[in-house]
Amino acid sequence: MRPTPAFRLRDIMPKGLYWRTLLIIVAPAALLQLIVTLVFLDDHWQATSKRMSQGVAADAALIIQLYEQNPTPQNFAYLQQLAQRPLRLDIELQPHAPLALRRCRGSGSALDGYFTDAIEDQLGRQIWYDSTCPGNQVIIRVPIREGVLQLRAFRDRVQARSGPLFVMWIAGATLFLVVVSIIFIRNQVRPIELLAEAMERFGRGEDADPFRARGAREVRGATHAFFAMRERITKSIDQRSQLLAGVSHDLRTPLTRLKLQFALMPPSPEVEDAKRDLAEMEETLDEYLAFAKGLAEEAPAQVDVGALAQEIAADSKRTGADVEIESAGDVVTPGRARGLKRCVANLIDNAAAHGDRVQVGVKGEERAVTVTVDDNGPGIPPDQYEEAFRPFSRLDETRSRNQKGVGLGLAIARDVARSHGGEIILSPSPLGGLRATLRIPRPA
For 364-389, b where at least 16 C-beta lie within 10 A, e where not — what string?
beeeebbbbbbbbbbbbeeebeeebb
pLDDT, one tens digit per residue, over 411-427 is: 888 888 888 888 999 99
Highest-scoring range by mean pLDDT, 242-251, 304-313, 335-344: 304-313
pLDDT band at residue 374 using 50, 70 and 90 as cut-offs: very high
pLDDT band at residue 128 using 50, 70 and 90 as cut-offs: confident
235: left (phi over 0), alpha (psi -120 to 50) or beta: alpha
DSSP state of 45: I
Task: Tell me what pLDDT residue 398 has.
Answer: 45
pLDDT at 320 over 60: yes
Domains of the chain: residue spans and CATH: 17-163 (3.30.450.300), 231-292 (1.10.287.130), 298-441 (3.30.565.10)
Over residues 317-337, the mean pLDDT reads 85
Query: How many angstroms separate the CA atoms of 271 and 333, rounded?
Result: 49
pTM above 0.85, yes or no: no
pLDDT band at residue 436 using 50, 70 and 90 as cut-offs: very high
**Residues 6 or more apart from 329 whose CB is under 8 A from it?**
363, 364, 365
Query: How many angstroms separate the CA atoms of 226 and 202, rounded?
Result: 10
Give the whole-number percent of the chain exceeding pLDDT 90: 5
Q: Is the peptide bond before 86 cis (omega within 30 degrees of 0)?
A: yes
The one-letter code for the residue type at 246 is G
How far from the centroid of its chain's Cα atoms is residue 170's Cα?
Answer: 31
pLDDT, one tens digit per residue, over 31-85 is: 887 787 777 666 666 677 777 777 888 888 888 888 888 888 888 888 888 888 8
Query: How many angstroms separate the CA atoms of 127 and 145, rounded?
Result: 14
Query: How many angstroms separate the CA atoms of 404 and 407, rounded?
Result: 9
Query: How many angstroms separate the CA atoms of 393 and 407, rounded?
Result: 5
Over residues 352-378, the mean pLDDT reads 89
| Terminal C-alpha separation, the chain | 37
Tell me the pLDDT of the chain averaged across its residues: 79
